[in-house]
Structure 1
C-alpha cells in the first residue's frame, strides 16, 4: 500500500519539473495500484489531462481558495467548508492550514483530504445563476440556516411540550445576545421562569456550550424541576444529588454532569466539601434566589449559609443565573448582594445602585403580566371575572367549628408548652384547620386517622420536615401525615370522639356540597349542558368526595382526576379524556402548575381557597393564559360563618385592597397590572404564620397582623417597582434588526424539502395540522429506518396526547436530516436568480456573522440577509425577504454583469462589517463572517 493518502476529487496539485517550472491542476481520479497511486489530473490553462504517479505531485492549493474537508473515514464528521490560509511541508508531507468559520477553528490538514469548491461569493461575482430550480434551493438553504440560528438563539424550536410565548423567547434571546450569561431573571409570578430556564438550557445545548449544569433549588422543588426538564424539554439526564446518586469519592463526580440539588443540603459542610471536588460548571442556576440572603449592619456583613454556598460556587463557574420574582423585598442591601454575586467585577458600581439604578439594565431581566403579549401583539392576560359564593352553614357546622376551635386551642397550648419540640404539634393543628376549611370529608378522615393512631399506641412521631415536601403536592402530603402515638394534651381522645360524631352529623347535611351541586354546577350547565368545569381542592379526600357526588348526579365517567400520586403519563391521559369527553376535572395543587387547559375550558371552581394566595394565582393560570378564547370565570366557595374562613375572607379582602391601591399608583391602571401586583404581594406575605396565631391571639390581633404584613409587602412592592423600571424587559421590537422567523417558516421549509427529497404527504387530518407521510427508500436508508410511513406534525399541542405522532422540532431526527441536506454544498442554492415582491432590491446575499468572548470562545451567531439596491444602499434582514421565504421560490432569468456584481457584493460586505461592529460590546468581539448564498432579484 502507498504511504500517501489518495487525493480526493478536485484537490489541487502541482508538478515541479527538473528545470524548476511547475504546472497546476485538479485531481480528476486516483487509483491505488498497491505499489503506487496513479492520479489523473486536469491541468489548469492547458486543456490537457494526463495520468501521473502521486509521488511526482505536490500540494497545489493557494491562499484564499475555498475548500471543503473530506475525511478519510466514514465515522468522522467533516469540518465543513473553509478558506486556505497557507501551506507547509512537515515530515515530508504537504499540509494546508484551513480556516473553518463554522467550527471556529484553523487546522493543518493533509492536502489530499481537501477539495476545492465554488463558494457563494465566487459564484455571485462570476455570475453563476445556478440550476433551473436555483431559487427554491436558495430559499430552502436560507430557511435551514435561519431556523437553526433562531433555535440556537432562543431554544424555542427545540423539543418542548409547551408553545413558548414571545416574552419567553425574547428573554432567552436577550440573554444569549448579550454575550454574558450572568443574569437575574425576575419575571413576575406565573410568567414561566422554569420554561425560560429550560429554553435557555436547550439553546445552550444547541450551541454545544452545555457540558455541565448545576441547578440548585429549595428542597421541596428538586423533583418538580427534574420532572419539568424531563417532560417538557426531554432533558432526562438531570439527577438529584442525595436522592438519585451520592458521592463517596471525588472521582465519582466525573459521572454526573447534569445535577439538581437542594440548597439546604448543599450548604452543609460535608456536602459543600464534596461539591468543591466536582470541578467547574458551565452554568449554575439558583431557583428562589431571594433565599440567598446577606444583610448589612453598618460596616458588618451577615451572610446566611445559603449565600455563602452561592459565593463558594461562584468560583466554580463563569455563568450563574438567579431566578426569583421578588429579589428586592424592600431590602436594598439584600438585592445588591445578589447583584454582586452575579457580577463581582462590578462591585463598586453596584454599591452606588441607589444613585445609578440604570446599571441593572444589563444584569436583571423583568417581565410583567401587564406587558406580555401573544405573537400578534394582543395582551394575553385579560378577560377574567372572579365571583365569591357564600354558603350559609348549618347549626351543626357552627357546633362542629366551636368544638374544633377548642381542640385547636388546646393543641397549640400543648405545643407552646414544649417549646421548640412542640412545633410539630402546632403544625398538625394548622393542617387540621386547613382540612376543615376544605371539606367535612377531609377533616373527618384526618380525625379518624388520628384517633386510630392513639388507640393503636404504636410507633413514634414521624412528622417530616415540611421544607422537604414537594411544594406541588404539599396539601396531599399534609393529609397523609402520621402523627405521634401519644396524646397531644389530656383528654384529646375524648374530644376527638366528640368531633368525629359531630363530623358524621355534618356530613349528612353538607350544605357546602349541596350548594356546589344544586346551585353552582346546575346553573353553569343550565344554559350550556356541554360546558367543561375545572375544580380545585388542596386535598385528595375532598377530591374523592366531590368525584363521588358528581358521578352520582351526572353519571359514571364524567369526572377525571389529577393528583400527586399520578405518573406523568396518567396525567396526560386524564387531561386528554377531560378535553375529549369528560365534563369535570378535579385537581389538587399537583395541577396548579404545568397543565394547560385553556383551549377547551374557561370555568374554574375553587372548592377550597388555598391558605397561600400564590397557589390561587397559579390555579387560575391553568385557564387564564395564552390561547384562552373566552372570558375566564372563577368561582370561589367559602363559608364565612366559621372562624377560619372569616380570617381567610379578611386576608383575601385586605390583599385585594392593597393590590388595588398599588395598581392605582400607575396612571395606566389595567387588570393585568392588578394581577402583576397580586403575585408580588402574595409572595411577600407569610400567610401561614398569621393564621397560626389566629386561634390563640383572637380575631382582632389576627386582623392587625394581616394589616402589618400587608403594609410591609406594599412598601416592598413599591420599592421593587421603582427599581425594576430600569431592568431589561420584554420588547416586541427588540429583534427588528434580525430575520423574523415564525411557525410559518418551519412549515414552509419542511414542505419544500419534502418536495425536493420525494417525501409524500399521503393524507392530512386535524385541519391540515397532522400529516401522514411516506419516505422514499433512499431517505429510509439514510435515516436507518425500516418503516416508510410516519405520522408527523409541526403543532406541539397535537403531540401532547398523541405519543406516536412525530414532532418536527429541531430535535427531530427527520428535521435534522432535512436541515443537513439543505445546508450541503452539493444541494446548491449558493447562487440564484429569484422572482418575488422584493421592492428596491437588485440582489440578496446571506451570511453567518459570529462573535466571541475575550478568550476566543464563540458567544453569538446570526444568520443575516442583505437586500442590496442598485445604487448600493443595503437593508439588513428586510421584512419582504422574510415574507418571500414562506412561499416556493420561482427562478427568474437574468444576465449578471461582473463589474456590477463586484460592486453589489462589496456593499454587502461593508454592511456585514458594520453589523459586526454594532453588536460588539465588552463581552462580544467579532469572530468571522461566512457567506452562505447570493441571488439576483428579477
Structure 2
C-alpha cells in the first residue's frame, strides 16, 4: 500500500530513492516536495508517491561516525557551513536567508512597522540615499516568504524600471519583468488568450507613464497584484494632466481595502498642501481630511498617521550610532572670473538678450513669452559653455516642435522651454539635456555672436574650463573618482574632450541623454574598470543609476536652477553603500557672472539657509513664472543700469520695483514655514533603536555577518586547495578566485550557475569596481556552503576526504574542563491560520550546545560557539585517544536526549514569542503555532579537552 503524503508533515525526515530527505511545506496530496538532507533549495525534488516503486518511509538522522574524525580546523568549518546553508531561518524575520544585502538596523524600521499591520499601508519618506528601495523590497521579500502575498508590482517612472529590476534580482532574488511600451507587446504575445500579463508574471516593474491611460489603468486594476510599491509617489498627486492620471490610478488601487501599498518619496511635501494630503489619503481616506480636522480630531489622526508614515533625514540616522552608514560630505565652492574676450562676449550676449525682451514689450503675449524664453536660453547656455551657446544660437526657437513655425502649439512651447531652461517642475524634474533654442532671427549680429563663441573653445580661452581641469587633476591626485555634472549635451562633450586631452593617465567618458538607459549603464560600468576615472554626465544620470560603488566626488560644472537637482546629483554618490569615508562635492561658478549670481541668491543660497535651519531640503516654490520673471528682472531688466559684470559682490536682486522678486521671496518664506510646521507635526520615530536592535542582533547571530562569510570563504578555499589570490590595495582591494582549481563536482555546479574561469571577488561590501561581492546568499557562497555540508553528511566520496568533519576531538587552548560541543540543526513547523486558510512554513535553526562533565547541556551563543570551535588545537591527539573520547561522547548522547528535546521545545516557544512580538498574533490575524520536530539533528559532535589533559 502506498504511503500518503499527509503522513509526512513539513520538516519531517523520510527515506526515498536510497537517501534521506526533508519534507517541504509545498507538499500537497500525493505530491511530495523533498529537499536532500544536506542539500539546498535548488536540489528540491518532487515525488508523485503512487508511482514510486518503493514508497517513502520515515527516517532518522544518523549520528556522526567517529571513524571520519578529522583535525580541529575541519570541525570549525562545519559550523560556518551549516549557518550559511540555512535558507529557512528560525527568526521572526523570515526573509533574511533570501536576501543579498546586509541591511542596517535603521532600515528595519519600515519593515517592523509594516509587519504590525494586517494590511500594509506605508509612506516611506526617507531622505535621498538612505535606502528607500531596500526598505520597500525588504517588506515585499518578507511578505513573500511568510506566504502573505504571492504577487507584487512596482510602479515607477520609466527611467527607473531597469534599476528596480536589477535591485530586486541582485539583492532580493525576485526576478521581475519590466512592463513598458517597448516590452508590453512582446510579453503579451507570449500569453494565452484572455490571460493578463500581471497574472502570468507574478513580479512586475511597471512604468507609470505606460499604465496610467484609461484603458491600461482599468485592465491593470482588475489584475493588479495584492502588493504594490510606488516609487516617486509625489509625482502621483493632483497637478498637471499626467499627474492627475497617475493619481486616479493609485486612488483606484488604494480603494481595495485588502491591497498592500507602500509609497516611496524623498519629497512628500513639495509645497503643495493639497497634493500632500491627497497622498496621505492613499494610506487611509480619513488622512486626507487631516488639514481641515478639528483640533481634537487632528491629534488622533496624527497619532494614527504615525503608524503609517516614516520620515528620516541624515541627522535622524545619527542616533543609531553606526559610523559606517554614510561618508562625510565635504562641500566646497570654486570660482572663476569672466574677463577679456569672454567678458566682452558675455556683455554682448546680455545686451542682445535684454534687447529681445525689450523689443517685445507692448506686443502680443506669444511674442513676449517667446522672446523671454529665448533670452533665458541664451543666459543659461552662455553660462554653461561656448559649445552650448553655439547650439542655442544656431537653433531656431520654433524648431523641433510639432507644428513647426508660428502654428507651434503654445503649451508644447512652454513645456519644452520649462524643461530645457528651468529644469522642469519640482515633482518631475527634467532629464532633457538638449540645448534650448534661442535663435529668433537671422542677421549679422547673431552670426557675430556665434563666431565669437566658437573662438573661445578650450581652456586657454575659457576660464571656467581651465578651473575645472585644475580641480579634477587635484581630485585624482587625492585618490578621488569624480563625476562632473553638466546641464547640456554640448557642454558634456566639450568638457569630456578637454579632460581627455589634458588628463592622459585617466579614463574619461561622457554619458548624456543621447544614449539609451542600457547604453548609459554599460558606459559607466566600463569606466569602472579604470584605476583613474572621470565621468562627465548630464542630469540624465541625476536619477536612475546609483554611482556610489565607482565614484566618490561630484563637481557641479553647471549650477542647477533647482536645489533638489543639486541634492539628487550628490545623492548618486553620497548614499547607502558608499565605500569611501569622505565624499567631495564642489560647486563651480563665476564670481562676476551675473547669471550665476542671480541663481545663487534667488535659489541655491535660499535653499541652503533653510536646510541649515530645518535640517531638510525644502523644494523651490514656483508657479511656473515667478522664477522666470525674477531671474530676468535680476539679470536683464536692471542689468543695463546695474553694470552686469561688476567686480564687487552680487546683484541687488529685489529692488523696490521688482514685484516678481518679492513674490518669490515671500514664496520661499511660506515654503519654509510650511516645512517647519510639517516637520513638527509629522516627524516621528515611533520605533527607536531600542525597539529594533534586538531583532537586528538576533538576525546577525542566527545567520552570520559579513566577517563570517569572509572567514568561511577563505578557509574553505584553502581546505579545497584553491586559495584566494589577493590583489589590489585600499578601496580597490579584492581577490581572484580560480574556479578551475575547485573539485569537479563543485566546479560543475558553479558552471551551471554561470561562474567559470578566474573571478574578481570582494569579501567586504561594497565591492570594488568590477568585482563580485560575496555575501551570504551569493550563489558562489551558497554553493560552497552546500557542498561542504553535503560532503560532511555523506562522508568520504570520490573526491577524497570532506573539507569539514562531523566529529573530532582535540586539545584546545583556553578550555579549562572537558567539554563536548554538539552542533544541532533544529527543525520547527510554523503554522499560521487565518482568513485565507492555513499556511505551513519550515523553520530551521543552527544551534551549538556545550555539555560539560556533569552532563548538563547549555546553549551557546553563536559568538561563544565560534570562540570554542575556532580556537586552535594546541597539540596533536593520538588517533586511539581521539576515538576513545568520541565513543564515550556518542554513548552518552542518548542520556542527553531528553535535555536536548527540552531545549528544542524551549527554542520553539521562544520562536513563537518572537513572531508574536514582531507581528502581533491578534484574532484578526488568526492563530499562530510553532512545533519543534524531534529529535534534533546532531550535525556535529566535538570533544574539546584542556591542554594539560593526559590520555
What is the TM-score normalised by the length of structure 1?
0.71
Of 601, 607, 613, which residue of structure 2 is paired with 1:649? 601
What is the Cα deviation at residue 863 of structure 1? 3.9
Q: Does 1:736 align with 2:697?
A: yes
CA contact (8 A) 2:157 2:207 kept: yes
Partner of 2:445: 498
Cα 1:886–1:726 shift into 2, 3 Å:
same
Count of aligned positions: 830
What is the Cα deviation at residue 608 of structure 1? 0.5
Q: Does 1:704 align with 2:672?
A: no
CA contact (8 A) 1:155 1:199 kept: yes
Could you report, residue by residue, the CA deviation over 1:721-766 in whole angstroms, capped at 9, with x for unpaired residues?
332224546755541233432112223444565577x473375544
Please give the alpha-carbon distance, in whole angstroms, between the structure 1 residues aligned to 2:679 and 2:161: 30
Could you report, residue by residue, the CA deviation over 1:770-819 in whole angstroms, capped at 9, with x for unpaired residues?
2213232333456675997553635487977648x796763527734743
1:805-844 residue pairs with structure 2 within 5 A?
810=777, 812=779, 815-816=782-783, 818-819=785-786, 822=789, 826-827=793-794
Please give the alpha-carbon distance, in whole angstroms, between the structure 2 residues aligned to 1:386 and 1:754: 46
What is the Cα deviation at residue 522 of structure 1? 3.2
Cα 1:610–1:867 shift into 2, 3 Å:
farther
Could you report, residue by residue, the CA deviation over 1:611-637 in whole angstroms, capped at 9, with x for unpaired residues?
221221122234434322346252322
Of 715, 737, 750, which residue of structure 2 is paired with 1:771? 737
Between 268-277 and 588-597, report the one with greater CA deviation: 588-597
CA contact (8 A) 1:536 1:587 kept: yes
Cα 1:387–1:276 shift into 2, 3 Å:
closer
Please give the alpha-carbon distance, in whole angstroms, between the structure 2 residues aligned to 1:187 and 1:581: 33
Partner of 1:268: 213
CA contact (8 A) 1:155 1:201 kept: no
Please give the alpha-carbon distance, in whole angstroms, between the structure 2 residues aligned to 1:99 and 1:814: 19
Could you report, residue by residue, the CA deviation over 1:861-920 in whole angstroms, capped at 9, with x for unpaired residues?
674647679898977855434666878999985633645542354144224303312431
Of 888, 906, 919, which residue of structure 1 is paired with 2:915? 919
CA contact (8 A) 1:864 1:877 kept: no
Partner of 1:634: 586
What is the Cα deviation at residue 186 of structure 1? 1.7
Please give the alpha-carbon distance, in whole angstroms, between the structure 1 residues aligned to 2:746 and 2:848: 34
Partner of 2:646: none
Cα 1:264–1:711 shift into 2, 3 Å:
farther
Please give the alpha-carbon distance, in whole angstroms, between the structure 2 residues aligned to 1:412 and 1:237: 56
What is the Cα deviation at residue 542 of structure 1? 0.5
CA contact (8 A) 2:168 2:175 kept: yes
Of 714, 717, 736, which residue of structure 1 is paired with 2:675? 717
- CA-based RMSD: 5.8
CA contact (8 A) 1:608 1:638 kept: no
Of 839, 842, 847, which residue of structure 1 is paired with 2:826? 847
What is the Cα deviation at residue 361 of structure 1? 5.1
Please give the alpha-carbon distance, in whole angstroms, between the structure 1 residues aligned to 2:603 and 2:210: 34
Of 384, 387, 390, which residue of structure 2 is paired with 1:441? 387
Between 541-550 and 788-797, report the one with greater CA deviation: 788-797
Please give the alpha-carbon distance, in whole angstroms, between the structure 2 residues aligned to 1:771 and 1:217: 38
Q: Does 1:537 align with 2:486?
A: yes
What is the Cα deviation at residue 150 of structure 1? 10
CA contact (8 A) 1:159 1:232 kept: yes
Please give the alpha-carbon distance, in whole angstroms, between the structure 1 residues aligned to 2:471 and 2:538: 24
Please give the alpha-carbon distance, in whole angstroms, between the structure 2 residues aligned to 1:108 and 1:583: 58
What is the Cα deviation at residue 400 of structure 1? 0.7
Cα 1:236–1:690 shift into 2, 3 Å:
farther
- 5+ unaligned residues in a row in structure 2: which ranges? 635-652, 796-803, 875-881, 945-951
Could you report, residue by residue, the CA deviation over 1:817-847 in whole angstroms, capped at 9, with x for unpaired residues?
7437637994589986888879999866553
What is the Cα deviation at residue 372 of structure 1? 3.9
Between 464-473 and 563-572, report the one with greater CA deviation: 464-473
What is the Cα deviation at residue 178 of structure 1? 4.9
Cα 1:582–1:752 shift into 2, 3 Å:
closer
Please give the alpha-carbon distance, in whole angstroms, between the structure 1 residues aligned to 2:251 and 2:128: 26
What is the Cα deviation at residue 609 of structure 1? 0.8
CA contact (8 A) 2:23 2:34 kept: no
What is the TM-score normalised by the length of structure 2?
0.70
Of 69, 80, 83, which residue of structure 2 is paired with 1:143? 83
What is the Cα deviation at residue 541 of structure 1? 0.4
What is the Cα deviation at residue 312 of structure 1? 1.9
Of 234, 242, 252, which residue of structure 2 is paired with 1:312? 252
CA contact (8 A) 1:286 1:322 kept: yes
What is the Cα deviation at residue 646 of structure 1? 1.2
- 5+ unaligned residues in a row in structure 1: which ranges? 8-58, 296-302, 664-676
Please give the alpha-carbon distance, in whole angstroms, between the structure 2 residues aligned to 1:287 and 1:410: 46
Cα 1:838–1:65 shift into 2, 3 Å:
farther
Partner of 1:658: 610
What is the Cα deviation at residue 339 of structure 1? 5.2
Of 467, 470, 486, which residue of structure 2 is paired with 1:522? 470
CA contact (8 A) 1:290 1:324 kept: yes
